[in-house]
Amino acid sequence: MKGNALTGVQHLMFLAAIFCFWFATYIYVPTFSVYLERIDLVYSQIGVILGAYGITQIALRWPLGVFLEWLSGRKKKWLMFGFLFATLSGSILALFETFTLVLVGRLLAGVTASMWVMATIMYGQYFPLHKSTQAMSTMQFMTVFTQFVSMVLCSLLISWFGWDFPFWTAAAFSVVGAVLLLFIPEVVSGKEEERTSFLRIFKQTMRMKEVWGIASLSLIGHAVLFVTIFGFSPLYLVELGYSEEMITWLVFAFFIPHMFTSLGLAYAPVKEEHHFRILWGSFIGASIFLLFVPTSSLVLFLLMHAGAGFTLGMVLPMLLGRAASLGNSGNGMAVMGMFQSLYAIGIFIGPYISGELANVWNLDATFYFASFLALTGALITFIMKKPLER
């Protein structure tokens, strides 16, 4: 390690650990709603379990970020705990089918995802301030790439080895990720600083108005994700009469544009004065695409998901990069924890409300709700025009 930079091998190992981190979380997600219906859960119960992934993130990410800022503690060991909880989560989901224990397994997956605060801060510290957006776009690309690989493999693994196998795979990859992380050095400040009180750090982050704004936009983006591709889109496809194998085509349609948009932002960063136009246009586009998702045409269904994947691929890395740059001015872990905790609300309320709507009406209502959320994101972006163009 030279200065704060990783060697080439260390960089690859870190990214491989991140791959394992998200692979353990997402390998079973594409067919999870279908699996939950197979074990005789109703739409409202499915919505609760899908949303449970966000509950622990809401509860943990912000306090954990503030706590570590207060301790000036090492982030690596906490990321290791994330892999441990992923092992427990995968094992519980593989072994049990009752509503309560499946809910517990999914809550533990949310605990794992809460440790993403540590991963983003660790990675950001290996880069200078002016490369924050590129660094976070790389992390977003790794997240999306892993989600893509996971979702392509999921249906194949189920067809070859059965419905429980993806859960065991999640547990195994979390162990591999923990081993890889052992070889990654951590940036530690060489100077002693006076410890700021926990409450003061919490209040300082609460007063950062722009964090609230960008977090609300990310909340909407994540709500849309977990209503659609990570929620009810695979189930909708199966309800149309297609087999679980067709979910692979849905994954390709959504994630290829989503993934390469994130990669493009990592290597072709957008000037800050253009952020408003891109975010506003992306939310408007997503709203239109989602409005036309409910259809009996497979081609139109896939095309609308491709459009939604592209637009959300613009939104999420830009917001994450903005949060990282705000945190570099001080209280980085607390700011990132606050940002991620707030957007995790969308991971919970999106599927939860959608499940209730589907229970009362039908699955079409979930996509109309997602379209409304994206339109709300465009409105908030318009209100935030000045801070985003600063």
More confident: 11 or 65: 11
Which of helix, strand or coil describes residue 2? strand
User: Which pLDDT tens digit goes with each residue over 187-235?
Assistant: 665 444 555 665 676 677 666 777 788 888 999 999 999 899 888 898 8
Where are the alpha helices (H) located in 72-131, listed in sequence order? 76-95, 99-114, 116-124
The secondary structure of 220-251 as a DSSP string is HHHHHHHHIIIIIHHHHHHHTT--GGGHHHHH
Half-sphere exposure of 56 (CA within 13 A, CB side): 21
Distance CA 257, CA 324 (A): 24
pLDDT tens readout for residues 256-270: 888 888 777 766 666
For residue 169, is pLDDT > 50?
A: yes
| Amino acid 24: pLDDT | 92
Q: Under CATH, which number does the domain 8-183+194-389 receive?
A: 1.20.1250.20
pTM of the complete model: 0.75
Q: Give the pLDDT mean for 120-147.
A: 74
